[in-house]
Amino acid sequence: MAIATLLCLGVHGCNTVDGGAVELSWKLRPASSSLPDKFVDCDSGKDGTNPVTKIRLDWVVHVDGTDHSGSDEWPCNDNHGVTNFELPPGKALLSVSPLCETGPALAGSYIAPAAEQRRVILGETVSLGAVELVVLVSYCGEQPCICE
């Protein structure tokens, strides 16, 4: 039994935890209430739009008078993401935004929730829950649509 335990420890090893993690889920909602769809896919298929390819989480953590910033990204179609335990413990400002194939979506082509402040604790996961990003997918000639 002791040999099996030692072999198991050697194979699996130990991972060090250097910070906290963030978990979130997301959905894209069309900006126009005249559309019958309550949600749209990452590739809405609407004229004048291109797919949202990734969702980005940005953070700034204030620790002992210094700001530490970072980000993580996930494929949009995953609808869920979790960072590694890499955020330093402290007060974190967390924000979410869509990315297009060519880079960040134009600020006027989506509405993201306001940045949220959360406390990051060593070894724990902060949950942002379900995040809705409102994306412009109609009237694209009159306004910039998502990922034009």
- The predicted structure's pLDDT at residue 94: 98
DSSP 9: H
Longest CA–CA span in the chain (Å) reads 71
Provide CB contacts within 8 A for 13, sequence distance 6+: none
Give the Cα-Cα-Cα angle 76, 82, 83 (nearest 5 degrees): 110
Which CA distances in Å does 144 have to 43, 46, 82, 119? 16, 13, 30, 36
pLDDT in tens, the chain (148 residues): 444 444 444 444 556 788 999 999 999 999 876 667 789 999 998 889 999 999 999 999 998 889 999 999 999 999 999 999 999 999 999 999 999 999 999 999 999 999 999 999 999 999 999 999 999 998 888 889 999 8
Sign of the four-CA dihedral 68, 124, 133, 116: negative
Residue-range domains of the chain with CATH: 17-135 (2.60.40.1120)
Half-sphere exposure of 48 (CA within 13 A, CB side): 13
**Helices (DSSP H) in 1-148: which residue ranges?**
2-12
Beta carbons of 22 and 126 less than 8 angstroms apart: yes
Alpha-carbon distance values, 115 to 28, 33, 58 (Å): 17, 24, 9
